[in-house]
Amino acid sequence: MPANHIDHNLIIDGTLYALLVFSVLTWTVILFKIWQFSKNSFYNRRFNEAFWDAPDLAAVKDLPDAVVRGPQSRVAKKGLSWLADRQHATGKHLKYKGGTTDVLEQALLEAMQIEARRLEFGLTMLASIGSTAPFVGLFGTVLGIMHAMHEITASGSTSLNVVAGPIGDALVATAIGIAVAVPAVLAYNFMLRNVKQHRAGLENFVVAFVHIASESDAQDKA
């Protein structure tokens, strides 16, 4: 068996295995993100109800652990922790200098960015697979056609039966590449929309939390 025949087969098989890995990664990320978004939506909704039913921020600290879960609860914990630390700091640290509204908002925005990065996890992989999988498939097709041409030349026959089979097999790689890319692209667009919605919800929560904290601070000073 010629060496170049083995090399072609190894490369083509490697291309198909790469596409298989891409497909497994794509569906793993899709299932994980569906679970993540569903869980976060449930936790945020439950925490929101408990948060707005609380009489003040002090009561939020006493909410049961079963309720205090999800991105919004973690942002709220960051805000409550910052307010508590500021009361004990008594102006000893620069990070507590300035108006409550501006400095607290900065702390909450940092917490929100951490949550946003968690939500965005996996999207880069989906985008990369969606953009590269067709080219990987095309690469396999080109190699397959080259290999088919060598086989046809070696056989000395140019009949349709001899030509169609190897070239048809080579085109399978492109079809698989497209089949892998389509779910990745669709999932990326859908997940990106969900990330934007969750981020908007966190931004609204940050604004509301800062407003409540500033009003509480003004009442304490009065």
| pLDDT tens for the chain, residues 1 to 222 | 444 444 666 777 888 899 999 999 999 999 999 999 999 999 999 998 888 888 888 888 888 887 888 899 999 888 888 887 776 665 555 555 555 677 788 888 989 999 999 999 999 999 999 999 999 999 888 888 887 777 777 766 666 666 666 677 778 889 999 999 999 999 999 999 999 999 999 999 998 888 888 876 555 554
Predicted confidence at residue 104, as pLDDT, reads: 83
Predicted confidence at residue 94, as pLDDT, reads: 52
Predicted confidence at residue 1, as pLDDT, reads: 43
Predicted confidence at residue 129, as pLDDT, reads: 95
- Return left, alpha or beta for 157; rule: phi > 0 is left, psi -120 to 50 is alpha, else beta: beta
Predicted confidence at residue 3, as pLDDT, reads: 43
Task: Find where tokens 């088919």 sit.
Answer: 148
Predicted confidence at residue 196, as pLDDT, reads: 93
Side-chain-side CA neighbours of residue 82 (13 Å):
24
Domain ranges across the chain: 21-138+179-215
Contacts of 193 (CB under 8 A, 6+ apart): none
